[in-house]
């Protein structure tokens, strides 16, 4: 599929289906980001000699919406709905997500909740955040 066709399918209704309850201005921001990512992927894929997962093309648009919502910090995005919309398995979707992130060179800010989940200590996230804030404040006062 051509990039122009993919971009044309990214509409307000499409975004609303994946992120229920999102306001119109946020939808417009997501659409703009998704279009940028789709064009970026087209360029990266044309330069890439690597092999992509078989279902990458099925997941391409939902994955770009997923990345845009993460970057814009939009919690309404539903990965479950995106997986259903892509008609792929959760494993294929995750593989396509990682491939797109790598091709686009996107980095996400690390959050305490993510670290706590990774280390299996989800109950201390808020305390860690408060501690970091205290340390940052003390360091700022010293400077």
pLDDT at residue 44, rounded to an integer: 86
What does the alpha-carbon distance between residue 94 and residue 86 come to, in Å, rounded to a whole number?
12
CATH code: domain of residue 103:
1.10.472.10
Q: Taking each helix axis as running N to C, give the angle between helix 56-71 and helix 24-47, from 0 to 180 degrees, rounded to the nearest 10.
A: 130
78 and 118 share one domain: no
Residue-wise burial string across 25-44, b where 16 or more C-beta atoms lie within 10 A, e elsewhere = ebbebbbebbbebbebbeeb
18 and 45 share one domain: yes
What does the alpha-carbon distance between residue 76 and residue 66 come to, in Å, rounded to a whole number?
10
pLDDT at residue 4, rounded to an integer: 64
Angle subtended at Cα 36 by Cα 62 and Cα 95, rounded to the nearest 5 degrees: 35
Range of the domain at 51: 3-108
139 and 95 share one domain: no
Number of domains in the chain: 2
Q: Where are the alpha helices (DSSP H) in the chain?
A: 3-9, 12-18, 24-47, 56-71, 79-86, 90-104, 112-119, 125-142
Does the model's pTM come out above 0.85?
Answer: no
91 and 114 share one domain: no
Q: What are phi and psi of 39, to 5 degrees?
A: -65, -40
131, 121 Cβ separation under 8 angstroms: no
74 and 13 share one domain: yes
pLDDT at residue 125, rounded to an integer: 78
127 and 59 share one domain: no
115 and 103 share one domain: no
The residue behind tokens 């659409």 is 31
83 and 131 share one domain: no
82 and 118 share one domain: no
pLDDT tens for each residue of the chain, 143 residues long: 556 666 676 788 888 888 888 888 888 999 999 999 988 988 888 887 667 778 888 889 899 999 999 999 888 889 999 999 889 999 999 999 999 999 999 988 777 777 777 788 877 878 888 888 899 888 888 77
128 and 103 share one domain: no
64 and 12 share one domain: yes
């Amino acid at each position: 599929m051509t990039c122009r066709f993919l971009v044309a399918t990214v509409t307000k209704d499409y975004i609303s289906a994946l992120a229920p309850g999102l306001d119109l201005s946020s939808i417009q921001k997501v659409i703009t980001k998704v279009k940028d990512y789709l064009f970026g992927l087209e360029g990266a894929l044309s330069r890439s000699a690597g092999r992509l997962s078989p279902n990458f093309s099925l997941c391409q648009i939902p994955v770009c919406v997923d990345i845009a919502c993460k970057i814009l910090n939009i919690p309404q995005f539903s990965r479950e709905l995106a997986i259903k919309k892509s008609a792929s398995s959760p494993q294929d979707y995750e593989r396509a997500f990682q491939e797109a992130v790598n091709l686009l060179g996107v980095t996400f800010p690390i959050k305490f909740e993510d670290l706590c989940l990774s280390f299996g200590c989800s109950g201390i996230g808020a305390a860690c955040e408060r501690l970091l804030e205290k340390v940052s404040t003390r360091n700022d006062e010293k400077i």
